[in-house]
Structure 1
Amino acid sequence: MGVLWKRRSNPLASAAFGGLRRLGVLGRVSVLTPTSETRQHFHAQLWQCFLAQNWPDKELVVVETYQTEPSSILNIRDPRLVHVTLKEDLNVGTKRNLCVLLASGQYCVNFDDDDFYAEGYCEAMVSELVRRNLGALTFSAWYNYFEDRGTCGYSDPAAWDCEDQAELEGDLYGYGFSYVHLRSLALQFPYPDLGFAEDAPFMLRLKNLGRAGLVEDARGLCMHVVHRSSSCIDPEVSQILSEEELEDLLVFDSEAFQAYLRQRAWPCLCS
């Protein structure tokens, strides 16, 4: 097992391992991303989305498993980056828990490496978490970008005709790309040791404890990208957006999303 460890050089570096700061550094946001060698082509946009966040005290914690070579894109020296590489085959639930352990922040914000986050995403989500005195928060409605079609759709599960309450709650609470939570809570109630669909049991447990809430992404703070290798292949949508509506979303003008559109040969959408 190989480990590449890059971390700020101060006494807080060992806090996550030793449990010396269970609550985390007050006010710090730890952006958490489990990833793998097969997803290294997403790492540039992940780093770009992190750098764009306007939250002042932030870090990016990445746990990457690999078989051949770890990410060269994340092989950089930056005091805000924690990049741990493991020559192992670990499931995503375990990697999410490792991210939490390695984090030093009071607040944990999940970033999926293949999705896009507007510069005010962390600020908006953490502020809502604090305002409502919650332990965890996730989107109840969100925007999807369908890569194969070049279209954007809005998913609002609460508006769907779903009579099965358990199924509805799974749709509402089961998308980990938008999870925000207190680090202390995730240490107490970790993700299940699963390779798929590890997110819903984690958040539903917090919901049943009265600690998790929902918020609608009405402004387009995030773009959930659906592509061939997505774990979510074909999400149901409530509305297909026009080009004008897509351009009004906060995430549309982000450098990372604009670069993505250019790579996908959709120049008409690039600003």
Structure 2
Amino acid sequence: MKKDIVIGAVTGYDWADIEPWATSLVTSGFAGLGVVIVYDGGRRGDIVAANLESLGLYPVRMPLRGSIYSQRFGDIAHVLRTFAHSLRFAVVVDVRDVCFQADPVKWLETHLERPFLAASESLRYSDESRSWDDLQQSFPAHAERLWAKTICDVGVLAGQAGFMADLCLALSLIVASAGVPAADQSGYNLLLDMEPYRSTAQIVGSENGFTCSAGSAADPGKIETVRPFHLGSEPMLTAEGIQTAAGELYPIVHRYDRVPAWDQALRSRLESVSVREALAAVENAQRERFAAQPGLARVLGDADGASIQHTARMVGVPRESSSIQLYSPMPGHSSPEDGPPPPRVSVVCPTYQRPEFLRKVVRHYCAQTFDGGMEMIIVDDSPEPVDFLDEELCREHRIRYYHIPNSRITIGDKINLMTQLAHGEIIVDFDDDDYYTPQYIERMVEFLGDADFVTLSRWFAYDPASKMFCYWTTDSLSPIHFVLSPTQPSFPISTSSWNSELIHEQLWGYGFSFVWRKSTHQQIEVRGHPPGDLHWDYDFSLRLQRAGYKAICVPDTEGLVLHILHPKSTVSMFPQYVMPEFLIDKYFPLYAEEEV
């Protein structure tokens, strides 16, 4: 069964500003995924994220690269599109000034007739001067076409998840094109007047009962001015909450804080509701609805995920053991300020249908001598999850395993997703099929120093099938190299036709030894489909260098990592030197023990 998602984004707000949104969603009866993209770093972002987790909601940490008015829709689109196969309805809302009175999905289940709905503010542009001024400033060449059109609220969007992903992407692009910081409302309404959105939108007014915007329907500072032009019935405040004129409770109330009486009534209502009881009810509903399809749970958590399990323990709700190997760190802490210190290093490991390799590389991670704090993030899009990542192991070693079946994801997209999820300031890439010695991370962090990126220029390689133990100095050429390929026996090759461009790609194009600072992600993301048939790793390192980041390469002369060739390898190698196999025991003694 597919899931439903409510998603928003925040920056510049303290937890007190966001708490009404979070608490009202949890107590509304909504049984899907509540997700907030948190752009703030540092202590503010940490506290917001930890409090969201404590309520069973899911923070996604991302850097803010520009205006939140456009970027949030692009990032929301990315989340929705990545997991569209596992989602049914998506509700995209503002966070600070939105309050939930009931489960919005219940309304969608019975009332949604088109791919998505647009919430009318029940005023035309011709009758609302502020919106008209914003539209003229944002899109002066196209403002006239909307003069007589009804204004729709960009703060509340809802519909089929796949359609919402594309709508949000289109919205981010059109808003970014305006050249002004806050063009989201104007851009959204311009899209609604264009195909295919004009034919696929279900326009709902305040009388339809899904949402109302206090800004146009009840704001004391403007209601008397706009009342003669209001196209719908006015909402009313009752003992049950904010309702339509016909007495139906709105699932969503937007800009409630503009009406003091509404603000006080909704906050009082939240204070009277038991969050503990609501969490227990939501957890039971999630277990019933989503037990058959845990896929998305491995990424954002679900009824069987460790975040909900941790939340249940915090508020005293009994909980059976998790059936999902996912760990969301915060074990045994009741306050975000008491949580474990953030790791300095985040190890990212993409994998697909190689459980035996993955088992070994997890052991390599657990054996690391680096004492500055580490976590490991694994994204696995195999049809079936691995069975060896138990909760105790993940908790002890700070491992987060995300299983995303039924949707093949490129290595670059996996790396990009894991970088976004990472808590560490330094990202270390572990290929799932290579051998990393216990001192690998410690030494690579030392090599990184004050640089932004480091990779190995000279390294060891091994083909177990042919028993060829090799060394490749990728920063130099010899007259003869050897071809190590997963599809054919090894053979010597002349380098007389090789050029400097090929050497550059070999030096900077093997991601198994990439280490970089997460701060670079604000400007240079890893691309899933680089242009020109480039692999993700060479494309990424090349763009970092062109952007002016300090990138260095160092030789491995001590035996830090062994790049392994096997039948499922996706790349070939071209080392200059073939060494006696017995030297593996000298450089990699623990690898020989592992293979016995």
Interval of TM-score (by shorter of Structure 1 and Structure 2):
0.7 to 0.9
Matched, 1:217 2:535: no
Residue type of the partner of 2:327? K
Please, what TM-score do these two structures have when normalized by structure 2? 0.39
Please, what TM-score do these two structures have when normalized by structure 1? 0.82
**Alpha-carbon shift at residue 184 of structure 1 (Å):** 1.4
Residue type of the partner of 2:581? E
**Alpha-carbon shift at residue 190 of structure 1 (Å):** 1.0
Q: Which residue number in structure 2 is paired with residue 84 of structure 1? A: 402
Superimposed CA distance per residue, residues 208-251 of structure 1 (whole angstroms, 9 cap, x where no aligned partner): 32421100111110000011111123x111111223432221xx
Structure 2: give runs of 5+ residues left out of the alignment.
1-85, 87-294, 299-325, 479-494
Query: After superposition, where does 1:142-221 map in structure 2 within 5 Å?
Result: 142-161=459-478, 164-194=499-529, 197-208=535-546, 209-221=548-560
Q: Which residue number in structure 2 is paired with residue 245 of structure 1? A: 583
**Alpha-carbon shift at residue 111 of structure 1 (Å):** 0.6
Q: Quick check: 1:31–1:60 contact (8 Å CA) kept in 2?
A: yes
Q: Quick check: 2:361–2:436 contact (8 Å CA) kept in 1?
A: no
Q: 1:74 to 1:27 in 2, by over 3 A?
A: closer
Q: Quick check: 1:27–1:107 contact (8 Å CA) kept in 2?
A: no
SS of residue in 2 equivalent to 1:148: coil
SS of residue in 2 equivalent to 1:53: coil
Q: Which residue number in structure 1 is paired with residue 566 of structure 2? A: 227
Residue type of the partner of 2:460? Y
Matched, 1:58 2:374: yes
Superimposed CA distance per residue, residues 133-175 of structure 1 (whole angstroms, 9 cap, x where no aligned partner): 2100001111001121122100112221565222111100000
Matched, 1:258 2:576: no
Q: 1:107 to 1:48 in 2, by over 3 A?
A: same
Q: 1:187 to 1:74 in 2, by over 3 A?
A: farther
Q: Which residue number in structure 1 is paired with residue 451 of structure 2? A: 134
SS of residue in 2 equivalent to 1:41: helix
Q: Quick check: 1:101–1:187 contact (8 Å CA) kept in 2?
A: no
Superimposed CA distance per residue, residues 24-66 of structure 1 (whole angstroms, 9 cap, x where no aligned partner): x776111110112x11121210111001101121111101112
Matched, 1:34 2:372: no
Q: Which residue number in structure 2 is paired with residue 93 of structure 1? A: 412
Residue type of the partner of 1:124? R
Structure 2: distance between partners of 1:210 and 1:101 = 19
Q: Which residue number in structure 2 is paired with residue 266 of structure 1? A: none
Q: 1:70 to 1:26 in 2, by over 3 A?
A: closer
Q: 1:11 to 1:178 in 2, by over 3 A?
A: farther
SS of residue in 1 equivalent to 2:529: coil
Q: Which residue number in structure 1 is paired with residue 184 of structure 2? A: none
Percent of aligned positions that are identical: 27
My pick for the range that moved more, 73-82 or 102-111, is: 73-82
SS of residue in 1 equivalent to 2:344: strand
Residue type of the partner of 1:253? P
**What value does the CA root-mean-square deviation take over the aligned residues?**
2.3
Residue type of the partner of 1:97? N
Q: For this pair of structures, how many residues does the alignment match?
A: 242
Q: Show structure 1 runs of 4+ deviating over 3 A.
A: none
More helix per residue: 2
Q: Quick check: 1:34–1:63 contact (8 Å CA) kept in 2?
A: yes
Q: Which residue number in structure 1 is paired with residue 329 of structure 2? A: 8
Higher RCO (CA 8 Å, separation ≥ 6 residues) = 1
